[in-house]
């Protein structure tokens, strides 16, 4: 059987995260299960689905529908997340008249975290 180029996708559902490997010449779509209900009827991810078609033409057979999907990403697209850490302290001092004065010290640190995806798994299906 000839080697088929495949694209890996990170698919996030409400309570699970999937990594899918789909042939590169297949089409995927993401949208509402029922487009007529698109406005005002669904919450985050509810009602959205991922459709996978074998081929890219209008007559390509539908191979899968995955429901409750709220995010999908091609894993070849690198992602970085900015993380901010804030450390602070407050000190209160009083004078002999009972007046309080507050002293605040705040330090903010920024870090860029590049997402790494474990590439050591293999798909054994056909």
pLDDT digits (tens, 9 = 90+) for 56-101: 988 999 999 998 898 999 988 888 888 888 888 888 888 888 888 8
Alpha-carbon span 34 to 116, nearest angstrom:
35
Whether the Cβ atoms of residue 70 and residue 16 lie closer than 8 Å to each other:
no
Q: Is the entire prediction scored with pTM above 0.75?
A: no
In the beta sheet, which residues pair with residue 12? Answer: 17, 71
Whether the Cβ atoms of residue 22 and residue 51 lie closer than 8 Å to each other:
no
Closest CA to 115 of 10, 12, 4: 10
In this prediction, residues 20-46 reach a mean pLDDT of 75
What are the domain boundaries of the chain?
Answer: 6-74, 80-114
């Amino acid at each position: 059987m000839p080697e088929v180029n495949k694209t890996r996708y990170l698919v996030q559902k409400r309570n699970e995260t999937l990594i899918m490997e789909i042939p590169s010449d297949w089409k995927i779509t993401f949208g509402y299960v029922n487009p007529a209900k698109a406005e005002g009827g669904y919450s985050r991810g509810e009602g959205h689905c991922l459709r996978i078609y074998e081929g890219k033409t209008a007559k390509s057979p539908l191979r899968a529908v995955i429901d409750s999907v709220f995010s999908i990403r091609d894993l070849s697209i690198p992602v970085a997340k900015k993380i901010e850490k804030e450390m602070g302290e407050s000190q209160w001092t009083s004078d002999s008249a009972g007046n309080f004065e507050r002293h605040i010290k705040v330090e903010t640190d920024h870090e860029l975290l590049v997402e790494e995806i474990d590439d050591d798994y293999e798909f054994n299906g056909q």
